[in-house]
Amino acid sequence: MFLTESEKHISNEYLTQGYIIRPVADFEALAWMRSQFIRLIADALEVDADSRPEDILNQIHQKVPVAELNNFRLKIIRGFNAIEQFREMYFRVARPYLESLVGNELAMQLRVNLSIQLPGDESSLLPVHADTWSGDSPFEVVVWLPLVDCYRSKAMYILPPMADAELSQQFVESAGNNSEDLYQSIRGEVKWLDVGYGEVLIFNQALPHGNRINEESETRWSMNCRFKGVFTPYGDKKIGEFFEPITLRAASKTGMAYRLPKVS
């Protein structure tokens, strides 16, 4: 394999751990995105937009009750996905890492997702799962980007590749009757991922992952978006419906447009 030493290092880390955590490649893009969130929150709620962004985000549970959380979250999602440059900024924070791990001809999810997890909230849990179990392509990666420091139960967990291989061999015995039974069978093997603001997590969504009740005193804000190679196999989420090419190269464009001359 003709990879550079840095490409070999990041690839080995991803293959061994199932994820990488790195400083964002473009901090200005991240800061710009967070400023858009503060503007959207200020439009939706009575908050002081001049307060420190981390204070507004971490303490949003003081303004939004659990019963209103989903409507609030959907309003914020619609707001930032309507901003023309938002997805490009999102891509910029992870671009060099994606090019090393996935390739330089990429397809990106059409909409960026958002998770808001209030302290003690049982309604925002993501039970243990692998995205491939519900039809996602194993060629996808998830770029997970926090807007605040995420740590301990305010973060997410993932099952490392070696433990996942063991689980796959005895899945029926471990799965039990529901996702909670499955989590309890692997809870000693999962890895909790601390990701600070200014860092980006890229993980293998074919590995079991999820979250638990946020037992910290602050609210979690994290975005996620899937990327894959344009020419790698698609699962149930198709190009044009869920993904769109974002870095298609000239030779691919001419190759896809090429037609043999007509010979009568």
pLDDT of 222-262, one tens digit each?
999 999 999 999 999 999 999 999 999 999 999 999 999 99
260: in domain: no
Q: What is the mean pLDDT of residues 86-102?
A: 98
258: in domain: no
Indicate the burial class of 112 (C-beta count within 10 angstroms; 0-12, 13-18, 19 or more). Answer: buried
Q: Tell me if residue 192 falls in helix, strand or coil.
A: strand
pTM above threshold 0.85: yes
Q: What CA–CA distance (Å, rounded) separates 256 from 131?
A: 30
78: in domain: yes
Task: Provide, rounded to the nearest whole percent, the portion of the chain with pLDDT above 90.
Answer: 93
Residue 61 token pair: 């549970």
263: in domain: no
pLDDT confidence of residue 27:
98
The CATH number for 55's domain is 2.60.120.620
Contact at 8 Å (CB) between 143 and 224? yes
Strand stretches in 47-175, DSSP E: 106-109, 113-117, 141-146, 156-158
pLDDT confidence of residue 1:
78
Where helices occur in 109-259 by DSSP H, the ranges are 161-169, 171-175, 179-186, 250-257
User: Kindly report the CA angle at 120 between 119 and 121, in degrees rounded to 5?
Assistant: 95
pLDDT confidence of residue 10:
98
Range of the structural domain that residue 226 is part of:
5-252
pLDDT confidence of residue 13:
98
Count of structural domains within the chain: 1
Q: How many CA atoms lie within 13 A of 132 on its CB side?
A: 13
**Would the pLDDT of 50 be above 90?**
no
pLDDT confidence of residue 177:
84
Instruction: Report pLDDT digits (tens) over 184-230.
Output: 999 999 999 999 999 999 999 999 999 999 999 999 999 999 999 99
262: in domain: no
53: in domain: yes
261: in domain: no
User: Kindly report the CA angle at 191 between 187 and 197, in degrees rounded to 5?
Assistant: 135
